[in-house]
């Protein structure tokens, strides 16, 4: 089994407490950072490590930090723990099991970026995760790890845990800031980017929960050590959230560049397809990414290879479907998600996601028309790249890629008025 | 009625943030905790504590799905119906719960005991299908387990 970095020790009993976390080396990285490095040196170290954002976009973390505007305004850090991308369940696990690793990462990032106030924005639905992070922050305050003159240095920071209240869009960084400022979670126009004008108008760094929780290990082990994992451009490890039709769904931390086949079929990980059925399709990085066919199962799981195969590594949410899955039914489910979660601010997304779902319902329930398939493609064309924020793009990924890969199934729905495969087809054939 | 103590909690929160307005979401939670859902009195209290209009606070509260706009059941059963749970049979589970509770998804039983609410992805895809009962996860739910859960909830309700 490869070396675990961000999920190391997560199953140690009591690791969610400050005491046990410290017994296992917790907060040593913070001490090393604060005592041994200047803030800018940490930025350089993280750049050198090759760490890229684990939220979805995969932007180099150190580079993002170096974009922070240099002015006299207060700087802020937001930890994006608003995990809601369908197929993704890693940040919840980290917060529930090892909340101090996240807190330590937040503190290291604050030191590096000279931030005085940090917010951990935890998705509202994740009640236990929220409580765990709140307790960890409270205990860290009591131990002098958060507050004034941390570990005897001149580094001081305030950390506030803020609970979301049910809105996928708040995972989008500008909507997250709006939400933190007490408004409806509508995205902001970019530019200006948060690094220049962000929360309360100050330069703001926004990082994903897993990204921040990786920092302590990088400080401890060094940039070269971390960069020794993964591929040339996708360095390190990341947590892959495996779900759908596999024998052992779950979170698996693997070096970037591990083949999809290993994740799905290896006994240590997915253990193969559920009921040993044939693999039909894979969503590699959450429901906002493009569907891949079974011919892509040997693709290495790194940013570049998955992009070359026609999708995105996204949030690491790998959803696997077997041969009995009706693609139209599955994509309908994802389309309903984007309809419900579209914030309604811009017309292409609000109307596009609504009408796509209407058309999908028509297809699924045997009332589809042949031209509906091209109509869906046309709506996607009017939505992708034309919406105010990336949610609109995301809503089209599964629709366009599934029509390209499985057009026959869509046509079957129109011609035969029922599914081509799976329970829908069986029920129709009357051979239950 | 929102108590004076609750209003003070909201004011303390408003002072905790660089900008008082940031306390709207947590203050709405406090109001909901006290009243069971977002009432006119709750909106008024949040508006007063933070220095906003009631309409402004109401506009925020209706954007977020975790603020109840009417009284939910004593036991709120949320069921994830997103893609990964769909692949692992959440529709069968939802149908089963609808039958057992005698209500449709999104409804509350007439006696006010149960609300059955379909949800978007609850970040529990590896343990699908999944429920949340009054915010706490119940994972890898089979129909038998759902039945046992309902029996347990029934016992809890009798004690109320």
End-to-end CA distance of chain A: 43
On the question of pLDDT at A253 being above 80, the answer is yes
B75-159 belongs to which CATH class? alpha beta
By Cβ distance, the residue of A86, A181, A341 closest to B84 is: A86
**CB neighbour list of residue A193: distance below 8 Å, 6 or more residues apart:** A67
Q: How far apart are CA A204 and CA A199, in angstroms?
A: 6
Q: How far apart are CA A123 and CA A125, in angstroms?
A: 6
Q: How far apart are CA A105 and CA A385, in angstroms?
A: 34
| Interface contact flag, B83 A86, Cβ < 8 Å | yes
By Cβ distance, the residue of B60, B121, B126 closest to A250 is: B126
Q: Inform me whether the C-beta atom of residue B22 falls under 8 Å from chain A C-beta atoms.
A: yes
> Quick one: pLDDT at residue A425?
81
Q: DSSP for A139-207?
A: HHHHTTSSBSSGGGSS--BEEEEEE--S-GGGGSHHHHHHHHTTS--PPPPSSSPTTTS-GGGS-EEEE
By Cβ distance, the residue of B25, B119, B127 closest to A165 is: B25
Q: How far is CA A266 from CA A180, A260, A263, A295, in A?
A: 42, 10, 6, 18
Q: How far apart are CA A233 and CA A94, in angstroms?
A: 25
Write down the H helix ranges in A228-346. 260-265, 303-308, 327-341
- Which chain A positions have a beta carbon within 8 Å of B67's beta carbon? 165-166
Angle between helices A90-97 and A209-221 (to 10 degrees): 60
| Interface contact flag, A321 B18, Cβ < 8 Å | no
What residues does each domain of chain B span?
4-61, 75-159
What is B4-61's CATH number, 3.30.1360, 2.60.40, 1.10.10, 3.30.450? 1.10.10
**Residue B113 to chain A, least CA–CA distance (Å):** 21
On the question of pLDDT at A175 being above 50, the answer is yes
On the question of pLDDT at A185 being above 70, the answer is yes
**Residue A85 to chain B, least CA–CA distance (Å):** 7
Q: How far apart are CA B134 and CA B32, in angstroms?
A: 14
**Residue B4 to chain A, least CA–CA distance (Å):** 22
Of B51, B63, B76, B91, which to mutate for an interface test with A (greatest number of A Cβ within 10 Å)?
B63
Q: Is the dihedral of CA A81, A82, A87, A93 positive or negative?
A: positive
End-to-end CA distance of chain B: 22
- For residue A250, the tally of other CB atoms under 10 A from its CB is 18
Read off the pLDDT of residues A318-371 as tens digits, 9 standing for 90 and up: 999 999 999 999 999 999 999 999 999 999 999 999 999 999 999 999 999 999
| Averaged confidence pLDDT in chain A | 96
In a 10 Å sphere around its CB, with 0-12 CB exposed, 13-18 middle and 19+ buried, how is residue B151 labelled? Answer: exposed
On the question of pLDDT at A1 being above 90, the answer is no
On the question of pLDDT at A264 being above 80, the answer is yes
SS3 state at B39:
coil
- For residue B5, the tally of other CB atoms under 10 A from its CB is 8
Q: How far apart are CA A297 and CA A318, in angstroms?
A: 12
Which chain A residues in 114-133 lie under 8 Å from chain B, judged by CB atoms? 117, 123-128
Per DSSP, A290 falls in state: -
Per DSSP, B21 falls in state: G
CB-hemisphere CA count at 13 Å for A296? 21
With a threshold of 0.90, tell me whether the complex ipTM lies above it.
yes
Please name each of the domains of chain A with its CATH number. 18-227 (3.40.50.11540), 237-320 (3.10.20.600), 327-429 (1.20.1440.230)
Residue A430 — very low, low, confident or very high, per pLDDT cuts 50/70/90?
low
Percent of chain A at pLDDT > 70 equals 99
On the question of pLDDT at A293 being above 50, the answer is yes
Q: Is the dihedral of CA A53, A59, A63, A68 positive or negative?
A: negative
> Quick one: pLDDT at residue A61?
98
**Chains A, B: CB pairs < 8 Å:** 140
A163 forms beta bridges with: A122
Q: How far is CA B118 from the centre of its chain?
A: 11
B78-106: b or e for each residue (b if 16 or more CB lie within 10 Å)? bbbbbbbbbbbebeebbebbeeebebeee
Read off the pLDDT of residues A80-116 as tens digits, 9 standing for 90 and up: 999 999 999 999 999 999 999 999 999 999 999 999 9
The predicted model scores a pTM of: 0.97
Read off the pLDDT of residues A412-428 as tens digits, 9 standing for 90 and up: 999 999 999 988 787 77
If you average pLDDT over residues A390-416, what whole number do you get?
97
- E strand map for A197-297: 204-208, 237-244, 250-255, 279-283
On the question of pLDDT at A431 being above 70, the answer is no
**CB neighbour list of residue A309: distance below 8 Å, 6 or more residues apart:** A292, A296, A299
If you average pLDDT over residues B136-156, what whole number do you get?
97
Residue A178 — very low, low, confident or very high, per pLDDT cuts 50/70/90?
very high
Q: How far is CA A62 from CA A53, A65, A100, A235, in A?
A: 10, 5, 22, 13
Q: How far apart are CA A206 and CA A45, in angstroms?
A: 18
Residue of A nearest to B132 (CA): A125
The alpha carbon torsion through B81, A241, B124, A289 (nearest 10 deg) reads -30
């Amino acid at each position: 089994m490869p070396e675990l970095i961000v999920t190391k020790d997560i199953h140690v009993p009591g690791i969610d407490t400050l005491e046990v976390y410290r017994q296992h080396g917790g907060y040593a990285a913070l001490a090393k950072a604060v005592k041994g490095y200047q803030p800018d040196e940490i930025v350089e170290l993280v750049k050198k490590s090759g760490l890229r954002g684990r939220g979805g976009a995969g932007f180099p973390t150190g580079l993002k930090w170096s974009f922070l505007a240099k002015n006299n305004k207060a700087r802020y850090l937001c930890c994006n723990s608003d995990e809601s991308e369908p197929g993704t369940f890693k940040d919840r696990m980290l917060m529930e099991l090892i909340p101090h690793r996240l807190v330590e990462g937040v503190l290291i990032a604050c030191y590096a970026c000279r931030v005085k106030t940090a917010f951990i924005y935890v998705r509202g639905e994740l009640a236990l995760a929220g409580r765990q992070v709140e307790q960890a922050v409270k205990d860290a305050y009591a131990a002098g790890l958060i507050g004034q003159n941390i570990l005897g240095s001149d580094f001081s920071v305030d950390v506030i845990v803020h609970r979301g209240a049910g809105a996928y869009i708040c995972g989008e960084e500008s909507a997250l800031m709006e939400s933190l400022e007490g408004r409806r979670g509508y995205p902001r126009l970019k530019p200006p980017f948060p690094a220049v004008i962000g929360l309360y108008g100050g330069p703001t760094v926004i990082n994903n929960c897993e990204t921040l929780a990786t920092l302590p290990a990088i400080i401890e082990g060094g940039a070269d050590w971390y960069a020794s994992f993964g591929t040339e451009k996708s360095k390190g490890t990341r947590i892959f959230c495996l779900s759908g039709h596999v024998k052992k769904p779950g979170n698996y931390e693997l070096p970037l560049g591990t083949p999809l086949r290993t994740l799905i079929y290896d006994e240590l990980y997915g253990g193969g397809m559920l009921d040993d059925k044939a693999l039909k399709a894979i969503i590699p990085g959450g429901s906002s990414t493009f569907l891949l066919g079974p011919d892509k199962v040997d693709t290495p799981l790194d940013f570049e290879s998955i992009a070359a195969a026609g999708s995105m590594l996204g949030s690491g949410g790998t959803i696997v479907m077997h041969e009995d899955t009706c693609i139209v039914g599955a994509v309908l489910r994802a389309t309903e998600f984007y309809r419900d979660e579209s914030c309604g601010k811009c017309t292409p997304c609000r109307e596009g996601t609504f009408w796509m779902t209407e058309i999908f319902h028509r297809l699924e329930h045997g009332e589809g028309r042949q031209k509906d398939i091209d109509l869906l493609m046309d709506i996607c064309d009017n939505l992708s790249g034309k919406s105010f924020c990336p949610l609109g793009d995301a809503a089209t990924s599964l629709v366009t890629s599934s029509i390209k890969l499985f057009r026959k199934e869509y046509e079957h729905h129109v011609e035969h008025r029922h599914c081509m495969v799976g329970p829908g087809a069986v029920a129709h054939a009357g051979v239950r | 009625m929102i108590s004076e103590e609750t209003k003070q909690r909201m004011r303390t929160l408003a002072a905790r943030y660089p900008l008082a307005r940031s306390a709207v979401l947590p203050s709405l939670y406090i109001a909901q905790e006290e009243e069971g859902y977002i009432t006119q009195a709750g909106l008024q209290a949040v508006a007063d504590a933070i220095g906003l209009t009631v309409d402004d606070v109401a506009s925020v509260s209706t954007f977020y799905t975790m603020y109840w706009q009417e009284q939910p059941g004593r036991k709120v059963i949320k069921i994830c119906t997103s893609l990964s749970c769909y692949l692992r049979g959440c529709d069968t589970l939802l149908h089963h719960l609808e039958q057992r509770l005698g209500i449709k998804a999104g409804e509350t039983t007439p006696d006010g005991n149960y609300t059955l609410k379909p949800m978007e992805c609850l970040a529990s895809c590896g343990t699908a299908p999944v429920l949340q009962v009054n915010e706490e996860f119940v994972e890898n739910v089979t129909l038998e387990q759902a039945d046992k859960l309902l029996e347990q909830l029934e016992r809890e309700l009798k004690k109320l």
